[in-house]
Amino acid sequence: MKRIVITGMGAVTPVGVGVEDYWANIIAGKSGIDTIKSFDASELPVRFAGEIKDFNAAERLSKDLARKTDPFMQYAYVAAEEAVKQSAIEIEPERTGIVMGTAMAGVTATAFTQDALTASGKKVGPRFIPKILGNIAAANIAIDYNIQGPCFTVSTACSSGGDAVNIACMYMQAGKADVMLAVGAESALCPLVIQSLANAKALSRRNDDPSAASRPFDISRDGFVIGEGGGALVLETEEHAIARGAKILGVVMGCGNTCDAHHVTAPHPDGRGAVACIRQALAEAGLKPGDIGYVNAHGTATSKGDLVETAAIREVFGDSLPCVSSTKGATGHMMGAGGITETIACVKAIETGVVPPTINLHEIDPECAGIDLVPNTAKEVEIDYAMSNAFGFGGQNSSVIVGRYK
């Protein structure tokens, strides 16, 4: 198999725009969760989220692109721009491709446009359809960078970002590209989504304490917090990267993708899909469980999800348990963007020898105990391999293992 390496990374997150700000703030244990500012949420059952702050699309994109794109597309574009710049890649159009991951695409534009149409009969503009289509995020990036190779959009719920990495690697393994951008983005903050998830009892209701609301693995957790953002990786075959003298940041060792085949929203109680996914990624990587030094958990702070994931980790890793943390305590659940930004956290953990903490973890749920969940304070750990888990509705499971480049 061809070796796939990482040469560029980009991030737009509630705790910082740009990989360095994102990493510095999650290591410092800062929370990006606050009351919602982008629209009036005062009548909603949940009035807080992990919003992107200090982000002016008109300052970061061309006026035309800022006007015709949805926020999730803008986050994807800015993350990709950072990753491409870091990689210093010169695009070879027909040998470069892109895979975009998003769970809900333009749901906010759909909801707010329908509200305006219903309330006042306001005309629907000609840019509405291109604003809500998930694939247009990848298309805009491809147009600006002249990427003419494979161009796909994957929507596997909250595992979309991790699956984007997997599919990008598969295309290079198949010889259909030498370079692939793997991008994930989400902006699903609107009353429609909040009402539905709140009524499903999936969201935390801590309106009086937003920054402490996301509590992965804590006995007092009461649901996840919606986050938004974008992440991007420039992936290349090792041969291509070496030939152009690229700085290699890490290696994609292996990926897994499985389905629970159990329930539309609930994970399988035995975690069979998660277990199979992690084992699949390990097998592709050619690694033993004890080789993994850190797992960035899906860890959304839902009652069932955290229990199933920790049980799956214990089953796979046995007596060789790695450090495990969830950065969603800081960012909220970024859905399609999370699989990419959390893979970036794994690359940075290997590079710096620091594992990010699970913030707001004060009393570990006894059923999640027995694992080092890195509560509240970052931990220095020398590691060579790390894994990012991303699981989603429909029983979707994704695992991505990254390693130190040697």
Q: Which residues are catalytic?
A: 158, 298, 333
The one-letter code for the residue type at 107 is: V
The contacts of residue 113 (CB under 8 Å, 6+ apart) are 124, 128
Q: Could you give the CA distance from residue 254 to residue 263 in angstroms, rounded to a whole number? A: 27
The CA-atom distances, in angstroms, between 157 and each of 218, 296, 396 are 24, 18, 7
C-alpha 296 chain-centroid distance: 11
Q: How far apart are the first and last CA of the chain?
A: 17
103, 335 contact by CB (below 8 A): yes
The CA-atom distances, in angstroms, between 235 and each of 8, 183, 195 are 7, 11, 38
Nearest to 282 by CA among 359, 191, 386: 386
Look at the alpha carbons of 235, 240, 244, 250 in this order and tell me if their dihedral is positive or negative: positive
- Decide: helix, strand or coil at residue 178: coil
Q: Could you give the CA distance from residue 327 to residue 299 in angstroms, rounded to a whole number? A: 8
The contacts of residue 243 (CB under 8 Å, 6+ apart) are none
Q: What is the DSSP string of 233-267?
A: EEEEEHHHHHHTTPPP-EEEEEEEEEE--S-SSSP
DSSP state of 203: B
Q: What is the DSSP string of 331-392?
A: H-B-GGGHHHHHHHHHHHHHHHTEEPPBTT-SSB-GGG-SS---BSS-EE---SEEEEEEEE
